[in-house]
């Protein structure tokens, strides 16, 4: 095997199966391999992980540079120690998975949260470079360097990237947005208003239905009129979901000042939740004296909406002369940002994030 490689081994860790792949130049180069996870038996679980990576190596013509993948938390991702997982109970008590794999394969091992790797993939090889390329093609002077990545699944994940660097925090716990507050459900944390479970609970409450087997896609089809059910309750469910998500994003944009890209299965229902989400971001705080304060200092545009996208690209710029010189400086008269949905998909973004994170770390 050649040692002049840029191949990284990756893993998609689920509670039932582990799915392994290999990437080169940010693209998958091998058909994914799946092995049972043995989530309740630590020794068998580690054996399964070793087996999967070993199979990959046997199929490659070059020695990989590293292993990099997302794994559920809680975890100390910096040290590669996995904590008390719900869907992988074998790891309870703390398991130094990164070090175990490094000893076995004699390769650097990088483990991160899936929300973090999703954001990193979108920042390095997804939405952010696409956005900046389009700005350049349209001869717009502004470029964006900060990205907020949101994944909508069972719950809500988040990652933050600045200038190509993933924000990892001091305790491997940055951007835990699921535990933030929410003014629409002030007695509950934010995840109670966003994610799969939240959608189901909201629909069951609003529709007075007792269908415990209903899924978000069913609620979407009810809202579309393609499946029997309470259409008004389904639409109201997504409207409330959009308001809740908008509140979370408003707080993130206020603090982090970046573009937002959303991924995950629920994004298929964007037509129903985006109007409420955008109303929240571009809404106001009502003041006691009758006046109003803008919710954000930013003007936020829905990048997937053709009209709003055009307005974003045409946000006003004034050229200012520099006295005593021939120089001009472009002055963006509005603070503008966008909310977009992933075009490469959450799974692909996470894989790309794992690959490029490993390559960045190896350069250090």
Average pLDDT over residues 264-288: 94
Domain match, 218 and 318 both: yes
First to last CA, the chain: 24
Q: Which CA distances in Å does 339 have to 19, 122, 246, 262?
A: 31, 13, 10, 8
Is position 1 within any domain? no
Helix axes 97-105, 42-59, angle to 10 degrees: 40
Q: Total structural domains in the chain?
A: 2
At 73, which CATH number?
3.30.420.40
Last residue of a domain, one of 77, 112, 147: 112
- Measured in whole angstroms, the distance separating CA 165 from the mean position of its chain's CA atoms is 15
Domain match, 163 and 26 both: no
Last residue of a domain, one of 57, 80, 112: 112
Is position 93 within any domain? yes
Domain match, 100 and 185 both: no
pLDDT tens for 41-95 read 899 999 999 999 999 999 998 899 999 999 888 899 999 999 888 777 888 888 9
Q: How would residue 4 be classed by pLDDT, with cut points 50, 70 and 90? A: very low
Domain match, 85 and 161 both: no
pLDDT the model gives residue 93: 87
Is position 2 within any domain? no
CB crowding 36-74: b at 16 or more within 10 Å, else e: ebbbeebeebbebbebbbeebbeebebebbbbbbbbbbb
pLDDT the model gives residue 155: 80
Closest among 141, 53, 124 to 320, alpha carbons compared? 141
Domain match, 69 and 169 both: no
For the chain, give the mean pLDDT. 92
Is position 249 within any domain? yes
Residues 97, 71: contact at Cβ < 8 Å?
yes
334-337's contacts with Cβ under 8 Å and 24+ in sequence apart are 334/299, 335/297, 335/298, 335/299, 336/298, 336/299, 336/300, 336/301, 336/312, 337/144, 337/253, 337/257, 337/258, 337/259, 337/260, 337/298, 337/299, 337/300, 337/301
pLDDT score of 174 more than 80: yes
pLDDT score of 156 more than 90: no
Distance CA 354, CA 68 (A): 5
Domain match, 80 and 191 both: no
Distance CA 333, CA 316 (A): 6
Average pLDDT over residues 242-252: 95
Q: Which domain holds residue 106?
A: 7-112
Last residue of a domain, one of 75, 92, 112: 112
pLDDT tens for 90-148 read 888 889 999 999 999 999 999 999 999 999 999 999 999 999 999 999 999 899 999 99
Is position 160 within any domain? yes
Domain match, 71 and 140 both: no
Domain match, 230 and 335 both: yes
Average pLDDT over residues 283-309: 94
Q: What is the pTM of this model?
A: 0.93
pLDDT score of 181 more than 50: yes
Domain match, 92 and 126 both: no
């Amino acid at each position: 095997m050649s040692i002049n490689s840029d191949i990284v081994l990756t893993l998609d860790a689920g509670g039932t199966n582990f799915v392994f792949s290999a990437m080169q130049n940010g693209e998958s180069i091998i058909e994914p391999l799946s092995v049972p996870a043995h989530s309740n038996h630590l020794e068998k679980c580690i054996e399964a992980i070793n087996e999967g990576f070993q199979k990959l190596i046997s199929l490659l013509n070059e020695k990989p540079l590293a292993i990099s993948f997302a794994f559920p938390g809680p975890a100390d991702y910096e040290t590669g120690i996995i904590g008390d997982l719900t869907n992988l109970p074998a790891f309870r008590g703390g398991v130094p998975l990164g070090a175990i794999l490094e000893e076995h394969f004699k390769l650097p091992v990088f483990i991160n949260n899936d929300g973090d790797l999703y954001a990193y993939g979108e920042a390095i090889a997804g939405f952010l470079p696409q956005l900046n390329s389009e700005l350049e093609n349209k001869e717009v002077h502004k470029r964006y360097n900060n990205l907020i990545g949101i994944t909508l699944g069972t719950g809500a994940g988040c990652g933050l990237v600045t200038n190509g660097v993933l924000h990892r925090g001091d305790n491997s716990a940055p951007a835990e947005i699921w535990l933030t507050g929410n003014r629409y459900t002030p007695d509950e944390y934010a995840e109670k208003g966003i994610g799969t479970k939240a959608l189901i609970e909201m629909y069951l409450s609003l529709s007075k239905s007792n269908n415990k087997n209903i899924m978000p896609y069913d609620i979407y089809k009810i809202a579309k009129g393609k499946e029997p059910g309470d259409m008004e309750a389904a639409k109201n469910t997504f409207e409330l979901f959009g308001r809740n998500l908008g509140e979370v994003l408003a707080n993130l944009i206020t603090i982090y000042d970046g573009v937002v890209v959303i991924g995950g299965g629920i994004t298929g229902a964007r037509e129903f939740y985006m109007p409420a989400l955008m109303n929240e971001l571009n809404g106001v705080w009502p003041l006691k004296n009758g006046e109003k304060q803008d919710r954000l200092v930013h003007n936020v545009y829905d990048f997937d909406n053709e009209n709003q996208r055009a307005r974003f690209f045409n946000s006003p710029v004034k050229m200012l002369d520099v006295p005593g010189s021939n120089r001009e400086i472009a002055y963006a008269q509005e603070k503008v940002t966008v909310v977009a949905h992933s075009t490469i998909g959450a799974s692909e973004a996470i894989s790309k994030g794992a690959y490029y994170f490993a390559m960045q770390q190896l350069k250090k």
